[in-house]
Structures are given as structure tokens and as C-alpha cells.
Amino acid sequence: MKKIFSALRITGLLVLAIVLANATLETGDQSIFEAYPIIWLVLGVVLLIGIAIEVSVAALDRTLYLSLKPEARKEYDLFLAEKEKNRFAWIRRTYDKLLDKKPIEKEEEIILDHNYDGIKELDNNLPPWWLYGFYASIIFAGIYLARYHIFDGATQKEEYLVEVAEAKAAVEEYKKNAKGLVDANTVELLTGEEDINAGKAIFSGNCAACHKIDGGGGIGPNLTDSYWILGGGIKNVFNTISEGGRAGKGMVSWKTDLKPDEIAQVASYVLSLHGTTPADPKDPEGELWEDPDARVDEVEVKMEDSTSVEIQMDYEEAEK
């Protein structure tokens, strides 16, 4: 037992040294051992000092014991035995109070008059721990009843729904600032010069072989017109680059080679090619694609432009 307490005292001394070092030294985001490697040496010295103190105290105690007369040694041994016996007596006393049971030698005091074929019944008290727990449950039930059935407190289901909604909002807010988490459903058209230039660099190194450097199309389709095989717009183009084109004959998937934010940059650059004039454009492929999210005023302008063109053509025909 003495060795166990000695080990605990030495361990406590080391822990105290570490706590004091953390409280007095500036470490920033690093641990105390990373910021000050010399702490290992200090702890080693503290460990040696602790061991030396324990050994010295044990040696002194042994010397004093051997210096005693035989009768004094016996008295000292009896004192230590009694002390060891009563070391954890408070635990036993607390345990007995929690059970509130009669010792076997006093059971005669609580025997009832019942006798069932020689079997007698003891009138033990309920254990205090159980009785107090029962009273606490009654108090809790009253508080719960008032909170949720009288004052209309939020139920567990309502609390769960609120927490789920807050968690979803937090995730969405995090996604707004984390480009790496973008996907075909959350991607947005990038118009910044830095993103467009990054997309152009990726396009030149990976896509130009099939679509040509100006996007006019080679093995792959023309990317400058309004016709798309798998749909236009940032979401469709992102999905096509990520998942690949038509099975067996379309473009391969690039999601294992490019990060989501890089795919968004390439898709945005591809859309920036729309309306440009490549050197040798390939004939349109796919279907004419119109942005379903286009603003009403943009549609009206297009309609007005087309109407004016038709009027101009009718006027020219009339003059002829």
C-alpha cells in the first residue's frame, strides 16, 4: 500500500509541474512539449527529486523503526494494523447508512410475528438510496407535468426538429464558404477573373485535345454555340464534367482527377466561351438549350430583338 501511495504522490507532483508550466508559459496553438521541448528535461528532474524524497522518507522511517525496543515495535505494529483497518472505515459506514439494514446479531428486533412453516419475515426499512430516489422521481414528475402540460413547453419532438433545422442551416452556411464541398446541386456560375483563368488553365491542359483550345470542337462537340447534348447551364455542365458523358461513347468522368472547385472553374470557363467565334467551329450537336432560370426581362429583350428582325425582313421584302 505504501508503494501505491508513493507512486500516486510522484504522479501528482508531475501533473502539478505540467499544470504550472501550462499556466505560466505562452505556447500559442502548440502544446507545452512542442513549444518548449526542455520541459521533458524539467519533468525528468522533478521525477528524480520525487523518487529521491520517497526513498529518503522510507529509509528514515525504517531506521526509526529499527531503533525502537521490541516492546515499542509491537505497540507500533499494533498501531499500524489498527490504522490500516480503519483506513476506509468511512466507506463502510456510508455503505451501511445507504442500506439501513440491521446486523445479523440484531435481527431479533425486527422479526415479525408471521410464521410460514418455520420461515419468518424481517421488517427491514427501505434502503435510503432507493427511498430518496423515489422522492426525487415524484418531484421530477411534478416539474415535468408543469413544464410540458401546463406551461406548454417544447416537446422532445419539437426540440429535435429545431436542432435538426439549426444543424442544416449551419451545414448550408459552411458549404457557402467551402468550395471543396460544391456539387451539381449547389454549384454556381463563377465570374471572377481568378476562377476563369484557373478554369482556362485546366481546360487547356485536359480538355483542349477533344474540344480544341478555342472550344470549337474536334472529337468532342462545339462548346461555343447554344446546342448541348446533355444540357447547358452551370449545373448540367458541372455534372457532365464530373460524371462523364454518354455511356460508351461520351467524355470520361473527371471527378477522380479534378476537385469539385476545379470542376466548377472549368465549367464556368466553358460557359464563358458561349458566343465566341472559334477558328474552325464544328456543326452544332444536341438540342438548343435555353436557361430556365433566365430573368423575364432578358426573355422580353430577346423576343423584342427577334420581332424587330422579322419586321426588318418583311420591310426589305416589301421594298423588293
Least trusted range by pLDDT, from 8-12, 157-161, 180-184, 249-253? 180-184
Q: How do residues 202-217 score in pLDDT, each as one tens digit?
A: 999 999 999 999 999 8
How is the chain split into domains, by residue range?
Answer: 2-87, 193-289, 293-320
pLDDT at position 270 is: 94
Max intra-chain CA distance, the chain: 143
Multiple choice CATH, 193-289, 1.10.760.10, 1.10.10.10, 1.25.40.80, 1.10.150.130: 1.10.760.10
Element (H, E) at 116: strand 111-116
pLDDT at position 296 is: 45
pLDDT at position 111 is: 85
Q: Which of 43, 8, 1, 4 is nearest to 22 (CA)?
A: 43
pLDDT at position 249 is: 76
DSSP tag of 142: H
Q: How do residues 64-95 score in pLDDT, each as one tens digit?
A: 888 888 888 888 888 888 888 787 788 888 88
Q: How do residues 109-119 score in pLDDT, each as one tens digit?
A: 888 888 888 88
Higher-scoring residue by pLDDT: 314, 150: 150
pLDDT at position 267 is: 93
Higher-scoring residue by pLDDT: 165, 109: 165
CA 309/CA 320 separation, integer angstroms: 17
45, three cell numbers: 528532474
Element (H, E) at 29: none
Percent of the chain surpassing pLDDT 70:
91
- pLDDT confidence of 179, banded at 50, 70, 90? low
Percent of the chain surpassing pLDDT 90:
40
Beta bridge partners of 115: 120
Higher-scoring residue by pLDDT: 208, 293: 208
Q: Please state whether the predicted TM-score (pTM) of the whole model is above 0.75.
A: no
Q: Where are the alpha helices (DSSP H) in 67-211?
A: 70-85, 89-99, 128-145, 156-176, 193-206, 208-211
DSSP tag of 191: -
pLDDT at position 202 is: 94
Distances in whole angstroms, Cα of residue 185 to Cα of each of 112, 182, 237, 239: 78, 8, 12, 9
CA 64/CA 212 separation, integer angstroms: 97
| Extended strands (E) in 18-73 | none
Q: Beta strand 287-288 with 227-228: parallel, antiparallel or unpaired?
A: antiparallel
CA 264/CA 234 separation, integer angstroms: 8
